[in-house]
Structure 1
Amino acid sequence: MAPIAPPRILVADDDSVSLLFLASALHELGCEVTAVANGMNAIAACEKQKFDLLLLDRRMPDLGGAPLLQALRARGNLVVAIATSAELDAITRDELHAAGYVDALTKPIGIDRLASVLADTLPDWQVGHAHIASTVEVRFCAIDLLDDTGALASVGGDAAALRGLRGLLLQDLAATIPLIAATVQPMSMQDLRDYLHRLRAACRYCGTPMLAVAAARLEAKLGVDDRSIQVEFVEFVDACERTSAALVTQLSPEAS
């Protein structure tokens, strides 16, 4: 039997962290990925090559969602398209469906959800690559996002101090992850290594074990000329997103 060619996926998203995670996760799931940061670049990419699936963000500064897909359809592009968005209500879903999207996914999108989408829309991927779909989820399933008991012990039981430290960590993640994902003036390998080292120390005080493990795994892989680093990179970005979401929930006024 001839080997199954990897599916070609176009991802368009103006959020650098989301774009990086989706591209890395799809690569880990056995896909060839073209990642672009706006609607016009998505149109240009579709004019240069044929894709098997389009993942298009609903809101981008120039063109996204329904108008973007309508522009592609007007150019004769009939590839299956799925919308992504941080917010999706029933009306928005109906609008996207009317524009031609077969589905709409709410961000953040985990690697397990991406695997499910590929299995539903690309039968050849399901045959050739479904066995790797749970790689990241299995490795992370037993690791807690937040360890309140351990974190409080590290700051002498001072809940206010812990809250302050976690607030600083949340700000740091929001500021630094886009730099890691940037295509213009990206963080250097040495800067990334230094950042991961500092981050692991912060994780001990803040009680964020999943993020600490992901940072350690990625740091250990840096400099290794091996595509397997993609697993660690996907884990790290996923852990950043999950940890940030957990911290936002815990630090919200309603949780006080």
Structure 2
Amino acid sequence: MPADMTFWAALLVGFFGGVHCIGMCGGIVGALTFGLPPEKRATPGQLLPYLLAYNLARISSYVIAGAIAGLIGAFGLSLIPMQHAQLYLLMVAGGFMVLMGLYVGGWWFGLTRIERVGSRLWRYIEPLGRRLMPVKTPKQALLLGFVWGWLPCGLVYSVLIWALSAGSATQGALLMLGFGLGTLPNLLLMGAFAAQLSALTRKKWVRWIAGGAVLGFGLYTIGSAIWNIQVS
């Protein structure tokens, strides 16, 4: 898949997977916004600097993780004397996206096991975030975003496996940037309209549409990899 298409594809996965992000990060965003003094959260416009700072840092953490994954993937692929190694890795990433779609749709929750593996590292990082709360300045929100960007998340892990197949640190970072920007609308709205958006994402039909979209893209990714293997 061309790099520009990969970016936009990752953005769409982030957007539809945002239903899951609201469940995972919504409490953090809520704590960030409702922890502010009333005069600083009276209107969405007053909340915006805090939400932008938090999400800018969160996405930056994704980009760093994507660069690391892309670098590891490029190094690993250089050691494997296999013509289709990158495409096989892309098939694995597509498989994880299928599992993520099932998770977002509420049909299967096996990915929570992967999140539990990540939680072992998270227990050492999470106290850093707690020290930054309650947030009183955009700078604190920025630092908090850097920390909470490493929160164990099956959706993020699925896209990171996709970044492994990107072929370079730059492409891995670009892929995760697209994914992070895709999650941005949902989490910005979560900060300003937390109660309404939380109620909406609890509706089965919303989760089914979002889960189906992520699942469908995973199947497309697998099919595309198989097609390229056959024709090459």
Q: TM-score range by the shorter chain?
A: 0.3 to 0.5
Q: Which has the higher contact order (CA 8 A, sep 6+)?
A: 2
Q: Please, what TM-score do these two structures have when normalized by structure 2?
A: 0.37
Task: Say which structure is richer in helix.
Answer: 2
